[in-house]
Amino acid sequence: MTSPSWRGPSWRRGAGTSSGFSRLATGLLPAGAHRSRSAVSATIAVGGGIVGLIVAVGLLSLVWTPYDPGAIDPTSRLQISSGAHWLGTDKFGRDVLSLIMAGSRTTLVVGVVAVGVAAIVGVPLGILSAMVPKWWGEVIMRANDLLLAFPALLLAIMLTAVQGQGVVTAMIAIGIASIPSFARVVRSGAIGVMKTEYVLAARAAGRRPWAIALRHVLPNVMNLVIVQASVSFAIAVLAEAALSYLGLGAPPGTASWGRMLQEGQELLFVAPRLEVFPGVAIALAVLGFNLLGDGLRDRYDPRLRDGR
Amino acid sequence: MSMPVGPVPAASQGSAIAPRDTPADRPADAPDFPVPDDVLRVDGLHVRVGELELLSDVDLTVRRGERVGLIGESGSGKSLTALSIMGLLAESLVPSGSIAVTGQDGRHTQVVGAAERDLAALRGRDVTMIFQEPMTALNPTMRVGAQVAEVMRIHRTVPDRHTAAARAVELLDRVGLPDPAEAARAYPHQLSGGQRQRVVVAMALANDPALLICDEPTTALDVTVQALVLDLIVRGVEARNAGMLFITHDLAVVASVCERVLVMYGGRVVEAGDVQQVFTRPRHRYTRGLIGASDLDLTRDDGRLYTIQGSVPSAGRFPHGCVFRNRCIHATTECESLPRWEGTGPEDGFACWHPVRVQDSQGVDPS
């Protein structure tokens, strides 16, 4: 206990020392080993835990739910929580817990596809805009701004009018609306990477632009993409709920948290739990992905990383 | 003087040195195409950005097996010259003049105005470059072995991926990395600065280039590592009988590595010649000041070190006529017109109206 306090908490110091020793001993550490001590912050742990729980529940619902989430049972309508129905039943007698479990699947699928669409289009756009001559980069980014300025909900309504209501429409609408944020984040990162000496060195080694984009720029903006994906996922969860609530997303009969909110709305004063349970599920999912995104950003943002 | 000692061969020791005198088969005036011995011939290179002229009338040659230094303060146009030779200038910079490169197979390439496709074939094979900062010259997300293998795969100098990987380990061994197989699997952040620069050297030598350009390759390293890396570079270049263009502001390094030297200031070559000659009997006032400023044994009457007064103007702010005249205590009205190149050719001469005379250079005052 004689150690001076300015050296930081003892557990950190201990960890640092041992990693220092192991580095001396082995000469070359396996990738990322020296980072591991600060890798899992509380934010990442909590966010990742919530996200993991939702994924686990979604997977579980594929093989088992307490009741069939679609089974209508007029004899057991609007029951309160009990041993048979932990979270009660809705106005059609469906088991709320089963609905929430099955609804997590919709949430996850919509999120994954929407974020996937946004990343697949947005990331190449961002890298391209950083590598083409400045004038063309500006054109791409102004088009991007145009998309950013377009209200996402209006886009969804338009797409519904063309394609009809459905989960697929919701996914595409959310995905398109998320493209600009990916393109922007990736562009700013890629511009930085393009100025580095290793890109200059790659050009000096005779590397062609597309190979530089794939092998040098993309891997070095991947951390930004992961963070953005996590943040966009939270937005997608909320957007799916909003669209389903408005009747633009999941069709009747599909288990969806947003749809549950809409169906329970008229009974708000009779059975408020029908709003509370899906509401809590949505809030938890958004919180989980946001915490994960924040934690990952703190860990991967180069401006913050240097300070540690 | 902080001369790196140790295994760095002194200029006089280099055995495979090109003759100091102009070969007999070489015409006095510049030929239209490079003579076979030249790996690099730059003729009347200008680089402009808009109205500003960043490089003016740069002439320089590097022969096979010859090590040429390019010295000058920051902002004198050294790195710009290197980037011009690589064809890596930013879009807004417009080169003119001639840069002829002769590859290992004897092919000539004119870099100025060449298509990007031809330049890509040239870079990394015939001409390679070592950059200043070993911390950032390697991709942090790729294993170093893969990066060394990549430069060979780009130009297909090895038949397949396995050969490339094996060659990469061999090269890492040859640049003195302990346990090269393990090092090949490491990421750049797991290596020290000196080890990283060794990897960069391995990459630069992987394809047996005809010309190696080093842009301050050891400036970011500490002095003991500096000597080792310099030795590595020089031995690698000698083994391949390649030409080397060595850019630095460290005169001691030039003295130990190079045979010939060019002094740049304000985007112009102000003096050129044999290293021995330029360092012991400088003729241009700027060279004299540069050498005086690096000599720690020389002090002024008040005990301070000699300096060159003022600082390097920003690009395009150099005076017309002699670019050095606003910092030169010998400047007269004559210096307002551009001084002629006095000497036997682009490899030996100077451009100064008031050169240092022999009796001056024996004196102490380097101003």
Interface test with B, best of A24, A28, A199 (most B CBs within 10 A): A28
Query: Does residue B113 contact residue B168 with C-beta atoms inside 8 Å?
Result: no
* The predicted structure's pLDDT at residue A93: 84
Query: Does residue B224 contact residue B231 with C-beta atoms inside 8 Å?
Result: no
Full domain range(s) for residue A105:
43-73+84-305
* B205 in a structural domain: yes
* A10 in a structural domain: no
Q: What is the mean pLDDT of residues B188-212?
A: 91
Contact list in A for residue B121 (CB cut-off 8 A) is 206
Both B248 and B280 in one domain: the answer is no
Last residue of a domain, one of B200, B225, B258: B258
Both B87 and B216 in one domain: the answer is yes
pLDDT in tens, B49-62: 988 889 999 999 99
CA of B32, closest CA in chain A: separation in Å? 27
* The predicted structure's pLDDT at residue B6: 42
Both B355 and B253 in one domain: the answer is no
Which H/E stretch holds residue B40? strand B38-49
Query: Does residue B45 contact residue B99 with C-beta atoms inside 8 Å?
Result: yes
Statement: residue B8 has pLDDT above 50? no
Statement: residue A197 has pLDDT above 90? no
Q: Provide the number of structural domains found in chain B.
A: 2
* The predicted structure's pLDDT at residue B234: 94
Full domain range(s) for residue B353:
268-362
CA of A209, closest CA in chain B: separation in Å? 10
Statement: residue B79 has pLDDT above 50? yes
* The predicted structure's pLDDT at residue B34: 47
Both B189 and B287 in one domain: the answer is no
Both B253 and B279 in one domain: the answer is no
Percentage, residues of chain A above pLDDT 70: 85
What is the secondary structure of B149-215 as a DSSP string? HHHHHHTT-SSSHHHHHHHHHHHHHHTT-SSHHHHHTS-GGGS-HHHHHHHHHHHHHTT--SEEEEE
List b or e across B281-297, with b for residues whose CB sees 16 or more CB atoms inside 10 angstroms: bbbbbbbbbbbbbbeee
Both B152 and B246 in one domain: the answer is yes
- Other Cβ atoms closer than 10 A to B345: 15
* B7 in a structural domain: no
pLDDT in tens, B269-291: 999 999 999 998 999 999 988 88
ipTM > 0.90 for the complex: no
Chain pair A-B, CB pairs under 8 angstroms: 77
**pLDDT range class, residue A249, cuts 50, 70, 90:** confident
Query: Does residue A50 contact residue A285 with C-beta atoms inside 8 Å?
Result: yes
| Among A201, A208, A222, beta carbon nearest to B120 | A208
Both B102 and B149 in one domain: the answer is yes
Cross-chain Cβ contact B136/A196 below 8 Å: yes
* The predicted structure's pLDDT at residue A33: 42
Both B327 and B180 in one domain: the answer is no
* The predicted structure's pLDDT at residue A39: 56
Query: Does residue B367 contact residue B292 with C-beta atoms inside 8 Å?
Result: yes
| Among B86, B128, B190, beta carbon nearest to A28 | B190
Q: What is the mean pLDDT of residues A113-125?
A: 95
- Other Cβ atoms closer than 10 A to A265: 11
Question: Over chain A, what is the mean pLDDT?
Answer: 82
* A259 in a structural domain: yes
Last residue of a domain, one of B258, B277, B311: B258
Last residue of a domain, one of B258, B280, B311: B258
CATH number at residue A124: 1.10.3720.10
* A238 in a structural domain: yes
**pLDDT range class, residue A297, cuts 50, 70, 90:** confident
C-alpha B42, offset from chain centre: 13
* The predicted structure's pLDDT at residue B98: 94
Both B330 and B283 in one domain: the answer is yes
* The predicted structure's pLDDT at residue B45: 94
Look at residues B47, B140, B38 and name the one whose alpha carbon lies nearest to residue B93. Answer: B47
pLDDT in tens, B140-181: 889 999 999 999 998 888 889 999 999 999 999 999 898 999
Statement: residue A64 has pLDDT above 80? yes
CA of A132, closest CA in chain B: separation in Å? 11
Higher pLDDT, A247 or A238: A238
B120: nearest CA in chain A? Answer: A206
Percentage, residues of chain B above pLDDT 90: 47
* A25 in a structural domain: no
B125: nearest CA in chain A? Answer: A205
CA–CA dist A200, A207 (Å, integer): 10
Both B274 and B147 in one domain: the answer is no
Percentage, residues of chain B above pLDDT 70: 87
* The predicted structure's pLDDT at residue B10: 41
CATH number at residue B233: 3.40.50.300
| Beta strands B94-102; B108-110: pairing state | antiparallel
Q: What is the mean pLDDT of residues A270-293?
A: 92
* A26 in a structural domain: no
CA of B238, closest CA in chain A: separation in Å? 21
**Residue A62 tokens, joined:** 């594929």
* The predicted structure's pLDDT at residue B230: 92
As a whole number of Å, the CA-based R_g of chain A is 24
* B248 in a structural domain: yes
CA–CA dist A69, A244 (Å, integer): 17
Contact list in B for residue A219 (CB cut-off 8 A) is 139, 141-142
CA dihedral A244, A245, A251, A252 (to 10 degrees): 150
Query: Does residue B311 contact residue B297 with C-beta atoms inside 8 Å?
Result: no
* A107 in a structural domain: yes
Interface test with A, best of B86, B136, B139 (most A CBs within 10 A): B139
pLDDT in tens, B116-127: 888 988 998 999
A181: helix, strand or coil: helix
Both B60 and B208 in one domain: the answer is yes
* B28 in a structural domain: no
**Residue A54 tokens, joined:** 């939702």
* A296 in a structural domain: yes
Residues of A within an 8 Å Cβ radius of B:
27-29, 31, 133, 196-198, 200-208, 211, 215-216, 219-220, 222
* B167 in a structural domain: yes
* A9 in a structural domain: no
Q: Provide the number of structural domains found in chain A.
A: 1
Both B65 and B179 in one domain: the answer is yes
CA of B202, closest CA in chain A: separation in Å? 12
